[in-house]
Chain A
Amino acid sequence: MLKIENVTKVFNAGTVNEKVALNGLSLHLNEGDFCTVIGGNGAGKSTMLNAIAGVWGVDEGNIIIDGQDVTKLPEFKRASFLGRVFQDPMMGTAPTMQIVENLALAARRGKKRTLRPSISKAEIEEFRDKLAMLDLGLENRMTTKVGLLSGGQRQAITLLMASLRQPKVLLLDEHTAALDPKTAAKVLELSDRIVEDNNLTTLMVTHNMRDAIAHGNRLIMLNNGRVVLDIAGEDKKKLTVSDLLQRFSVASGEEFVNDRALLG
Chain B
Amino acid sequence: MGFFGSLINAMPGAVGQGIIWGIMAIGVYITFRVLDIADLTVDGSLCTGGAVCVIMTLSGAPMWLALLVAVIAGMAAGLATGLFQTVCGIPAILAGILTQLGLYSVNLRIMGIGTGGGKANLPISVDKYNLLVSSRYLTSVGIRNPLVALTIITAVLIVVIYWFFGREIGCAMRATGSNPNMSRAQGINTDLMKVLGLMFSNGLVAFSGALLAQYQGFSDVNMGRGAIVIGLAAVIIGEVIFEKIFRNFALKLMACVFGAIIYYIVIQIVLRLGLSTDDLKLLTALVVALFLSVPYWKKRHFSKSKKGGAANA
**Given A76-B188, A79-B187: A115 and B182 within 8 A (CB)?**
no
Number of interface residues of A (CB under 8 A): 38
With a CB–CB cut-off of 8 A, which chain B residues contact A114?
A: 167-169
Contact of A94 among B164, B183, B309 (CB under 8 A): B183
**Given A91-B179, A95-B178, A105-B175: A118 and B167 within 8 A (CB)?**
yes
Give the docked Cα–Cα distance between A110 and B169 (Å): 13
Taking a contact as CB atoms under 8 Å apart, the answer to whether A178 and B313 are in contact is yes
Give the docked Cα–Cα distance between A168 and B198 (Å): 34
Taking a contact as CB atoms under 8 Å apart, the answer to whether B185 and A84 are in contact is yes
Q: Does A97 contact B (CB under 8 A)?
A: yes
Q: Which A79-129 residues have C-beta < 8 A from chain B?
A: 79-80, 82, 84, 86, 88-97, 101, 104-106, 108-111, 113-118
Q: Does A1 contact B (CB under 8 A)?
A: no
Number of interface residues of B (CB under 8 A): 26
Q: Which B144-194 residues have C-beta < 8 A from chain A?
A: 164, 166-172, 174-175, 177-179, 181-190
Taking a contact as CB atoms under 8 Å apart, the answer to whether B309 and A90 are in contact is yes
Taking a contact as CB atoms under 8 Å apart, the answer to whether A94 and B168 are in contact is no
Give the docked Cα–Cα distance between A115 and B177 (Å): 19
Nearest CB of chain A from residue B207's CB, rounded to whole Å: 21
Q: Does A160 contact B (CB under 8 A)?
A: no
Q: Mark A134-174, 1 if CB is under 8 A from B, else 0.
A: 00000000000000001100000000010000000000000
With a CB–CB cut-off of 8 A, which chain B residues contact A79?
A: 184-188
With a CB–CB cut-off of 8 A, which chain B residues contact A94?
A: 174-175, 178-179, 182-183
* Closest A residue by C-beta to B192: A76
Contact of A113 among B164, B172, B185 (CB under 8 A): B172
With a CB–CB cut-off of 8 A, which chain B residues contact A80?
A: 187
**Given A113-B168, A114-B168, A114-B169: A76 and B184 within 8 A (CB)?**
yes
A91-B179, A104-B171, A117-B167 given; name 19 further pairs at CB < 8 Å: A75-B185, A76-B187, A76-B189, A86-B181, A89-B309, A92-B182, A92-B185, A93-B179, A94-B179, A94-B183, A96-B178, A105-B172, A105-B188, A108-B186, A111-B187, A115-B167, A118-B166, A118-B170, A150-B312
